[in-house]
Structure 1
Amino acid sequence: MNIRFSNEIITSILQQSLVYTCSCPAQVCKAINEQRALFNYQKQCLNLTDTDKAVHQAIADTVEKTHAQLEQCLEDVLRLEGWDMDTYQMPETMQKRLISEFEDSLK
């Protein structure tokens, strides 16, 4: 499986998104993590019969295709929101806006 975003980058984006209650990137990161776990499971699962092999390969092939689409989606979302694509840091203006919105909700 080709991986555009390392596990470390996914974790960093997910953590920032959760800290600032910005759930869209977090949701995509969670889905990517789930797909990676599913792919790894399929590759490590016991293949006792030819049917087992075919089932696991079909699932792995589909996950590989949709994983690429989800990674593209994550990149699109990050670019739309103005994240730094070199450091994968949430823009400071977005952090301040989300904090301000949270503080306003407490009033």
Structure 2
Amino acid sequence: MSLEVMEKRFSEQQLEQIIEEAMVYMCACPAQVAVQLRKLRELYSYQQNCETDPGNDPAPHREIARAAIEAHTLMENCLSRVLEIEGWDMATLRMPEGLRRKRAEAFGLGD
């Protein structure tokens, strides 16, 4: 029996865009969620490799993978809601101008 499939709402490229955008404008919270999503994907991939190794009992790896899938779904939903709450452009994954300006001014980077 093989592992469940991990559905992904955000691509690796989109996660990278969120991380870069958030870090440039000193808004690390969305970036932190994106980083955790990447780690959950790595955990899931690792479990896939372990499950298919003939010397391993697949049951523990299936359980870890199942939990990774649940956590991944929860965190993707969270990221989507946070981006929506903050007003990010979901097509380009750019932070809204007002939030950019606010962050720049808070750190003395404004005009």
Residue 58 of structure 1: aligned partner: 63
- Unmatched tracts of structure 1, length 5 or more: none
Structure 1 residue 66 displacement after superposition: 1.1
Q: Which of 76, 82, 88 is the equivalent residue of 1:71? A: 76
- Unmatched tracts of structure 2, length 5 or more: 1-5
3-state SS, counterpart of residue 85 of structure 2: helix
Residue 93 of structure 1: aligned partner: 98
Structure 1 residue 47 displacement after superposition: 4.4
Name the count of aligned residue pairs.
102
Which of structure 1's runs of 4+ aligned residues deviate more than 4 A?
A: none
Q: Does 1:6 align with 2:19?
A: no
Structure 1 residue 22 displacement after superposition: 0.3
Describe the superposition over 1:53-104 as per-residue Cα deviations: whole angstroms up to 9, x where unpaired.
Answer: 1111100011011101100000000000000112111111111110110017
User: Over the residues paired in the alignment, what is the CA RMSD in angstroms?
Assistant: 1.2
Residue 48 of structure 1: aligned partner: 55
Residue 26 of structure 1: aligned partner: 31
- Structure 2 CA distance, aligned partners of 1:64 and 1:56? 12
3-state SS, counterpart of residue 85 of structure 1: coil
Describe the superposition over 1:2-34 as per-residue Cα deviations: whole angstroms up to 9, x where unpaired.
Answer: 000000000000011111110110110111010
- Structure 2 CA distance, aligned partners of 1:96 and 1:47? 55
Identity of aligned residues (%): 38
- Structure 1 CA distance, aligned partners of 2:45 and 2:107? 38
Structure 2 length-normalised TM: 0.87
